[in-house]
A and B are shown apart, each in its own frame.
Chain A
Amino acid sequence: MAKVKKSLPVLKKAPTGIDGFDQITNGGVPQGRPTLVCGSAGCGKSLFAVEFLIRGAMEFGEPGVLMTFEETADDIRKNVASLGFDVDKLIAEKKLVIDHVKVDRAEIEENGEYDLEGLFIRLGYAIQSIGAKRVVLDTIETLFSGLSNQAVLRSELRRLFYWLKERGMTTVITGERGEGQLTRQGLEEYVSDCVILLDHRVIGQISTRRLRVVKYRGTTHGTNEYPFLIDEEGISVLPITASGLDYEVSNERISSGVDGLDEMLGGDGYYRGSTVLLSGTAGTGKSSVAAQLARATCARGERCMYFSFEESPAQIQRNMRSIGVDLAPYVKKGTLEFHSTRPTVFGLEMHLVRMHKLIEDFQPSVVIIDPVSNMQNAGTLEESTNMLIRMVDYLRKNNILGFMVSLSGGGKAVEATEEGLSSIVDTWLLLRDVETNGERNRLLYILKSRGMAHSNQVREFLITSQGLKLVEAYLGAEGVLTGSARVAQEARNAKDLRKTEDEVARKKLAYEHRRRATEAQIEALRAGLMAEEEEFLRAVEAEQARLQRISTDREAMSRSRGLASESTAPKRRR
């Protein structure tokens, strides 16, 4: 089976070199066949076609012919010079031919039967002169405005497509979008093997460019609308894989930059490549936590990218310096990059594409998005959620730690983010403030942190001039004690402790006294005992001495009676 499958001819594809487009189409446009790129005015179709041609010549060694019906060769040269393409060089190297076909209605008069052989010959000659593999026709419908014989034009264009196909030219034709159909003439989409629709939509005053592969004969392709971007490097399409849940995970940990927080997260911080959400109400110090993370990342020698949607880079740096976090050296060193934009500058998709591009270029290990909550200004809530989910997918896939800051609105449940991000993040930190005794204090706790032992405790979160500090909060009768209440409690505790210490010392002293007294008593008793013993020994001695004396006396008496030798016998007998 496998062998049979292998031997089947597979549709060959010609890479366009356009960022992301080749991923969507699994390789590019169909090789040797015509592809239609259509869209309304200003959607970037000509740029798409020209980029396909130039990149083909520069990157894939396939020379190309650009037959332009609208812009002159000079216009094209200028247009793409801004993208860094040197058309003249390509022309000199015989990698590119630009043929401007002028169709001037005022000059032309039709008289009888004709065909478009002139066009064929021009194209054929241009192809032959450089051995072209790629052809761009931009935009053939200009012919329809210059010539009035529709029947001839249609049959000739049809012939042109077959002619190009026969020669194995990978062709891109552009077409203006018509009403109710993809092109005005309704011709190009039928003769093309692949149709790409470009769109430039404005919703809520924000424009987004989108690309969709409408048709692609003989191959599978992504059918979604993909946002794309035109910038100084040409077109980039954002390939959003439908469900990218097959990424590798890392067991490596990354410090959060806040000592106490690392401890709460099992001692080591976040997982590399995980997604962290920090939500909190206004003024709870969310950005400060983010800045600490940025500093810690850069201090390790890794790169960090900071997307700010509220503050300018200078503002962030100034503000963070006030809490002792100096980010300027890292910015200077190039390991930290700030990108500040208003969310409403462009559509969400554009934001996403732009962020992708920046991340791709910079290759950071940590990406901070501060805040994600106002992204919905650039679209609807649902769209911003979708966008963030895709962002998270992308970051995870690239093993980048995503740190997202979310502002939760006052009065709403803090445990619910508006963005609906809660289920996709790995670690969720919550900052909240408590108002007691006329002051507001910050609290931090970990709502969840997948795959690691984490503290269930609420910590008081202090913003000091030396950075952030996490202090164990006191649990009192009325709940958690923070701020001055905590300080008071601490003082009270210290007093209590002192009191206890005094007590112990006093007790110890008393014991010492008693011990000494007892010892003295023991000494006295022992002394008495010794005295008694002495007395006793003396008495024993005296008794012995007395007995000795008695026996001596008796001997002396018997001796004195003269019976010294026998004296013992009668005595024993007795």
Chain B
Amino acid sequence: MMQRERSQYIDSTREFEEMLKTSGEQHYVLRLYVTGTTLRSAKAIETIRALCDDYLAGHYELTVVDIYQQPTAVQADQIIAAPTLVKSEPLPHKRLIGDLSDRDRILVGLDLSHETLEHGEDDE
């Protein structure tokens, strides 16, 4: 997949967009902090898993943290609300608070532009 993309370099604009894409395809480190098995937690987990599979397949790392089980992680990651999705890589840091019910806003929040989506769809 990567090689196919590289071969498509044509002009500088295209190159720039490609670079954006490759940066977008950089390794994503996501952590989702949830509170046990509440409805809200389940919904958030489900949403983000689906979304990651759709957009970041192969280059993401999603950890689901139950804050009841790991209270120390809460302080370290400056969590106040639950559920919270923390994107620590790539920069900038971002945290999405809530049960992630708005899919479009997650994409904006995670810097996953629609081009990536289109590209992903092209892929299939």
Residues of chain A having any CB pair with chain B under 8 Å: 99, 101-103, 107-119, 121-122, 124-126, 143, 147
* Residue pair B80, A111 in contact (C-beta under 8 Å): no
B98 nearest CB across to chain A (Å): 3
Report yes or no: B80 in contact with A110, Cβ–Cβ below 8 A.
no
- Which residues does B use to contact A, with CB under 8 Å? 33, 35, 40, 43-44, 67-68, 71-72, 74-75, 78-84, 92-102, 105-106, 108-109
- Please name all residues of chain A whose beta carbon is closer than 8 Å to the beta carbon of B43 when the two chains form the complex: 112
Whether B71 pairs with A147 at a CB distance below 8 angstroms is no
Interchain CA distance A295-B84 in the complex, whole Å: 73
Bound Cα distance from A126 to B67, whole angstroms? 14
CB–CB B75/A108 < 8 A: no
Query: Nearest chain-B residue to A103 (Cβ)?
Result: B80
Q: Pick the contact of B80 from A109, A125, A143 — CB < 8 Å?
A: A143
Cα–Cα distance between A102 and B80 once the two chains are bound (Å): 9
- A109 contacts B95, CB within 8 Å? yes
Q: How far is the CB of A96 from chain B (nearest CB, A)?
A: 15
**Residues of chain A lying within 8 A (CB to CB) of residue B99:** 111-114
In the complex, A143 Cα to B80 Cα: how many Å?
9
Q: In the complex, which residues of chain A have a beta carbon less than 8 angstroms from the beta carbon of B95?
A: 107-109
Best-buried of A101, A109, A143 by chain B (most CB within 10 Å): A109
CB atoms of A117 and B67 under 8 A apart:
yes
Nearest-neighbor residue (CB-CB) of A156 within chain B: B81
Which chain B residues border A103 with CB–CB below 8 Å? 80
**Known: A99-B75, A122-B75, A125-B72. Contact between A115 and B82, CB under 8 A?**
yes
Most buried by A among B74, B83, B106: B74
Q: Are A101 and B105 also in contact (CB < 8 A) when A107-B95, A112-B100, A117-B67 are?
A: no
CB-defined contacts of B74 to chain A, threshold 8 Å: 118, 121-122, 125
Q: Are B102 and A111 in contact (CB under 8 A)?
A: yes
Q: Which of B72, B94, B98 has the most CB of A within 10 A?
A: B98
Contact B82 A109 (CB under 8 A): no
- On whether the beta carbons of A124 and B94 are closer than 8 Å, the reply is no
Q: Which residue of B lies closest to A108 (CB)?
A: B95
Check if B105 sits within 8 Å of A109, measured CB to CB.
yes
A116 and B98 CA atoms in complex are apart in Å by 10
Residues of B within 8 A of A114 (CB): 40, 81-84, 97-99
Chain B residue contacts of A117, Cβ below 8 A:
35, 67, 81-82
Closest-CB distance, B111 to chain A (whole angstroms)? 11
Q: How far is the CB of B49 from chain A (nearest CB, A)?
A: 15
**A121 & B67 in contact (Cβ 8 Å cutoff):** yes
Residues in B with CB closer than 8 Å to A122 are 71, 74-75, 79-80
A72 → chain B closest CB, angstroms: 12
User: Contacts A108-B97, A109-B97, A115-B81 hold; do A125 and B71 have CB atoms under 8 A apart?
Assistant: yes
